[in-house]
Amino acid sequence: MPSLHRSLALLLALSGAFAAHAEAPGAVPGAQAPEATAPEPLAFADFTWLTGNPRTHESPLDTKAFTGEFRVDSSLVYDFNHPRDNTIGGSSEIFRSGELQLTQLGAGGDFHYQNVRGRLMTQFGLYSQTTPRNDASPSRGQWNLADAYRYLSEAYGGYHFDVLKGINVDAGIFMSYVGLFSYYQFDNWAYQPSYVSSNTPWFFNGLRIQIFLSDKLKIEPWIINGWQSYGKFNSGPGLGFQLLWRPTGSVSVVSNNYYGTDTLGTPDRKRFHTDDSIQVKVYDDPRSFFDKAAFSLTFDAGCETGGGVSCAGSGNTPEQSFLGFMAYGRLWFAHDLLGLTVGGGAIRNPGRYLVLLPPINGATASTGTPYFTENRGDAYNAWDGSVTLDYMPSQFITFRLEGNHRAASVGYFSGSGGVTPDGGNRGDPKLIVEGFTPDLRKSENRVTAALLVKL
């Protein structure tokens, strides 16, 4: 019996040793077990409720080395001013009235393999024309930068370093998210963001370094060509950084800060800007018909100094500054099938250096226009409000209906007479057109219906 016990003990020991070293089903003999994938920083909770973030939880176009992305933004706008040329000004999202228009068609995605990373997103449709026209930097020097980049909204490559919680170094065109809202309307709580968002950069061209200090904190320095520009306005680059902190799954705090020389041909003029936002989810009960509620608050301040202007204004140096805020409240219903957003904001921008130039007679940021000046100290105050209703039958599509009221202290919005001379654009947009006066109004009311897709 003792020998039998010893035999059984030996058999059990050998069986345990074999089980401990057995290969997993389908594994290559001798191969090491794969390491567990480290969780993504700033993704410890579901943050799809945030404005500026896509609400998709998965991608149907995902592979080991590439995650595809496809976006469509199509809208129909009814402007109660009834501009006869169907042209809407003063917006970085809405451009034509009374027509079904394709604002953005984007195709691309994210590349990721062995720590090498990259992203490409095209922009076809109105964005390919309306976004480059707000950049004056292509008029400095040769080669047509606006045409070279106009069909790209994002295009960069980079590398991920396994340091701290991760460090990404990317070079190319990337989203700035100054002003909280995303460049892509699908990601936002509203279609037309308030002026703080619409008048600040959507993209940067240069280098960024994303440093994830923890699962909840990111610091992101930038060395870029300028303020939403393909090239530099003067000899110096723009510098900035983002600080993003998400202490819990219900709070997100972001601060974006910038310094540069962004007045074309005036290198002595320096620009400073800070953009600070908080978003808070105040209610979340998936079992209830009214299932979620959140709000956002954004505050921006900045100024330009030197080159004949100053931050506060004194004597012969007019004030050149920016002050603005926006606030939004968002409610979700029926398991996120429906969304309701109410919000708005206001800005004060003497000098008008961040005010979007109306497209009068084809005017761009490079040409300017005598009908809406951007001289030192020119006054500009504006405010707006909106109500947005979303129907979201799938995580990949949004049907949106929105009403907007916008107002300014000076004539700015397209009136019934429009902003185009009879027969179309005539001559140099920097000059007065004989017999033509654009119809600029101090207020505007619009209704927008949009179909938004992200796959």
Spell out where 97-197 has E strands.
Answer: 100-113, 116-122, 152-161, 167-175
What digits encode the pLDDT tens for the residues 158-195? 999 999 999 999 999 999 989 999 999 999 999 999 99
Say what percent of the chain tops pLDDT 70: 91
pLDDT of residue 34: 41
pLDDT tens digits, one per residue of 267-325: 999 999 999 999 999 999 999 999 999 999 999 999 999 999 999 988 889 999 999 99
**What's residue 38's pLDDT?**
56
Measure the CA–CA gap between 353 and 340, rounded to whole angstroms: 33
Q: Say if CB 327 and CB 344 are below 8 A apart.
A: yes
Residue 35 has pLDDT above 60, yes or no: no
Structural domains of the chain, with CATH:
40-454 (2.40.160.10)
358 within 8 A of 85, measured Cβ to Cβ: no
Q: Do the beta carbons of residue 228 and residue 176 sit within 8 Å?
A: yes
381-425 tens-digit pLDDT: 999 999 999 999 999 999 999 999 999 999 999 999 999 999 999
Asked if the model's pLDDT at residue 36 lies above 60, the reply is no
- Residue partners of 338: CB distance under 8 A and separation at least 6: 332, 389, 390, 391, 392
Question: Looking at the predicted structure, is the pLDDT value of residue 3 above 80?
Answer: no
Q: Is the pLDDT of residue 262 over 90?
A: yes
How does pLDDT run across 14-30, given as a tens digit for each residue? 334 333 333 333 333 33
- Could you tell me the two tokens for 192? 């037309």
pLDDT for the residue 326: 98
Q: Which position has the higher pLDDT, 13 or 254?
A: 254
At 232 the three-state DSSP class reads coil
- Say how far apart CA 103 and CA 75 lie, in whole Å: 7
Q: What is the pLDDT, as a whole number, of residue 39?
A: 61
